[in-house]
Amino acid sequence: MGKITINGNEYEFKPGQTIIEVATENGLDIPHFCWHPSLSVSGNCRMCLVEVEKMPKLVIACSTYAAEGMVVNVNSEKSVDARKAVMEFILINHPLDCPICDEAGECKLQDYTFSHSVGESRFVEEKQHKNKRVQLGPRIIFDGERCISCSRCIRFSAEVAKKNQLTFVKRGDRVTINTFPGESFDNNYTLNTTDICPVGALTSKEFRFKSRVWEMSSTDSICIGCSRGCNTEIWVRNNEVLRLTPRNNPGVNSYWMCDKGRLETFKEINDVESRIEGSFVKEHDKLVKHDLLKSITKITEILKSYKASEIAFVASAYETIEDNYALLKLAKSLNIENIVLAEHKLPGDFDDILLTEDKTPNYNGAKLLFPNYIDILALTENINNGKIKAALMLDSHFKDEKVIEALSKLKDLVVFATNKNKVTELATVLLGISTYAEKNGTFLNGFGVLQRIKPAVATEEMDRSLDNLSESRWDKFGTKFDRWMKGKKYDVKPSWKLITIISGSLKVKFNFNMAEEVFNEASNNIKPLNGLDYDVISDKGVKLKF
């Protein structure tokens, strides 16, 4: 370890670290556009110019290695003047679209104009005009005038997405980015460029113009699209999810997530048509809405009217450890040993970047709780041969005709589900449950990392401020008369809570009021979870030792 001085303070550095890396690691901000901690260094924006003692000229902090005894001054008169000059230069041809630009509020150029620029331009000539609204790929729109030629998107495509699809074309102030001839910017990681583009040049076709960033709240969460469990932020306005963005976790997904996960895992949360609210009991072949008490009474009757060996419980790789633990506890109290757990793999749908074949976030977590589970085909056989007569299912994500046909032969079927599907139609009792964006809980990803989810969307029983959900500026300052405070709240509860209510009516009452209490009991009883709690898991997760 060597020692370097930045702004008068001494810091240790590892051999091979650049000045900007040492500064960032120690919480110091050196302004930059083109540098990104997970991409190669291009050194073309010059925004990171700093003064180093005994060096005749300013150097760029992103490509200058830290050296023993080096003394760096980020805020010397020369550095400050250089940054002002760079800002003036970059702004020469920038269109100043801020009032209509999607990036406003999270734009590096806007922020640096405020903090590092002189505030006026000497450029009186006509600005360069370039193509706006260019469809670079199926999910990406490019605005040539806003691009500051930092090359982050080009380097990302080649180095992370491993698809060399973007390049600079033309020279000087006419330079712009484009795809190679005949190519479209189309791979499963394109939307990450909208996150790393420091300005509003690359925007998501799906999200653009939907919302200003300050109108949304953001909540740390986990993508449920596959067993990678990419760390995400859920962005919500008016209690509706508008976008997902990746959250840096070096041990899981770095700064990235795939386009499928980003676009396909939140639509069902907002889908009023298919969401199941409240509870239903089948009467004369039709599901009729009832209050929860009546539905729970019916479930109690069902569970009491069969022998334990005639009932199957279906755990779920989509639901949290807390939900599955409550199911495990109920199964144990009723001596039910037929526990089913289904894998949901899409063979061949994986890559060597992030995406995995297992399309569930918590198969490992459910397996941890139910090591002796049987698979869904074994359940199908046991229903067909008459051994199983009733089932309670936390997982209803089945499309296979053989499974559906077998489930239709059950005398009684209790289904917990977020959205309508083929299985929910077969239910004797149907309970609407919270999605992953509406509850607290934990998932164990396919690589043994235990991670937390938190509620981003409020359900009927929640209040955004009282229940500590994150709030946007609109949430904080809105009143009941404001349109944006009247978003739809679903009448649903987490599965662990519904199972706790069922346990009460069966006189085996569990004492769970919060997801955290369920987790704490699970961590006492399930060996690999010993010693863990929500604080220990925190926002980066914990790698379990099996």
> With CB cut-offs between 5 and 8 Å by kind, which of ligand FES, ligand SF4, none does residue 260 bind?
ligand SF4
Restricting to residues 134-153, name those near ligand FES by CB under 6 A: none
Using an 8 Å Cβ cutoff, are 321 and 519 in contact?
yes
Per-residue tokens: 479: 């009143």
- Our finding on whether 62 is near ligand FES (CB under 6 A) is yes
For residue 472, the Cα-to-chain-centroid distance in whole angstroms is 18
Pairing mode, strands 71-73 and 2-6:
parallel
Burial 152-173 (b: 16+ CB within 10 A, else e): bbbbbbbebbebebbeeeeeee
Using an 8 Å Cβ cutoff, are 163 and 154 in contact?
no
> With CB cut-offs between 5 and 8 Å by kind, which of ligand SF4, ligand FES, none does residue 239 bind?
none
Nearer to ligand FES among residue 36 and residue 146 (C-beta): 36
Of 87-95, 257-265, 333-341, 427-435, the segment contacting ligand SF4 by CB under 6 A is 257-265
Of 90-98, 191-199, 309-317, 390-398, the segment contacting ligand SF4 by CB under 6 A is 191-199
- Our finding on whether 225 is near ligand SF4 (CB under 6 A) is yes
Helix (H, G, I), strand (E, B) or coil at 9: strand
Closest CA to 519 of 433, 451, 455: 451
**Which of 22, 23, 47, 407 forms a contact with ligand FES (CB under 6 A)?**
47
Give least dist CB 42 to ligand FES, A: 7
The torsion of the CA quartet 258, 263, 268, 274, rounded to 10 degrees, works out to -130
Using an 8 Å Cβ cutoff, are 435 and 242 in contact?
no
**Which of 32, 228, 298, 452 forms a contact with ligand SF4 (CB under 6 A)?**
228
Closest CA to 418 of 345, 354, 494: 494
Give least dist CB 228 to ligand SF4, A: 4
Give least dist CB 411 to ligand SF4, A: 37
Give least dist CB 197 to ligand SF4, A: 3
Give least dist CB 223 to ligand SF4, A: 3
Of 143-151, 388-396, 408-416, 469-477, the segment contacting ligand SF4 by CB under 6 A is 143-151
- Rounded Cα distance between 316 and 146, Å, is 46
Using an 8 Å Cβ cutoff, are 265 and 244 in contact?
yes
Per-residue tokens: 295: 């539905």
> With CB cut-offs between 5 and 8 Å by kind, which of ligand SF4, ligand FES, none does residue 197 bind?
ligand SF4
Nearer to ligand FES among residue 33 and residue 496 (C-beta): 33
The torsion of the CA quartet 419, 420, 423, 429, rounded to 10 degrees, works out to 90
Task: Kindly report the backbone phi and psi dihedral angles of residue 451, in degrees, each rounded to the nearest multiple of 5, phi listed first.
Answer: -135, 155
> With CB cut-offs between 5 and 8 Å by kind, which of ligand SF4, ligand FES, none does residue 230 bind?
ligand SF4
Nearer to ligand FES among residue 109 and residue 296 (C-beta): 109
Which helix (H) or strand (E) is 2 found in, with range?
strand 2-6
- Our finding on whether 58 is near ligand FES (CB under 6 A) is no
User: Please, where are the H alpha helices in 284-427?
Assistant: 292-304, 321-333, 363-369, 376-384, 401-408
- Our finding on whether 450 is near ligand SF4 (CB under 6 A) is no
Nearer to ligand SF4 among residue 157 and residue 382 (C-beta): 157
Length of the chain as a residue count:
546
**Which of 70, 82, 141, 147 forms a contact with ligand SF4 (CB under 6 A)?**
147
**Which of 32, 36, 46, 152 forms a contact with ligand SF4 (CB under 6 A)?**
152
- Given the structure tokens 């085996």, which residue do they identify? 508
Nearer to ligand FES among residue 6 and residue 366 (C-beta): 6
- Our finding on whether 87 is near ligand FES (CB under 6 A) is no
What interhelical angle do 321-333 and 515-525 show, nearest 10? Answer: 70
Restricting to residues 18-37, name those near ligand FES by CB under 6 A: 32-35
The string of DSSP letters for 458-513 reads --TT--TTTTT----HHHHH--TTSGGG-------B-HHHHHHHHHHHTT-----S
Q: Where along the sequence are the contacts to ligand SF4 (CB under 6 A)?
A: 147-153, 177, 197-199, 201-202, 223, 225-226, 228-230, 253, 257-258, 260-261, 354-355
Q: Where along the sequence are the contacts to ligand FES (CB under 6 A)?
A: 32-35, 43-48, 60, 62
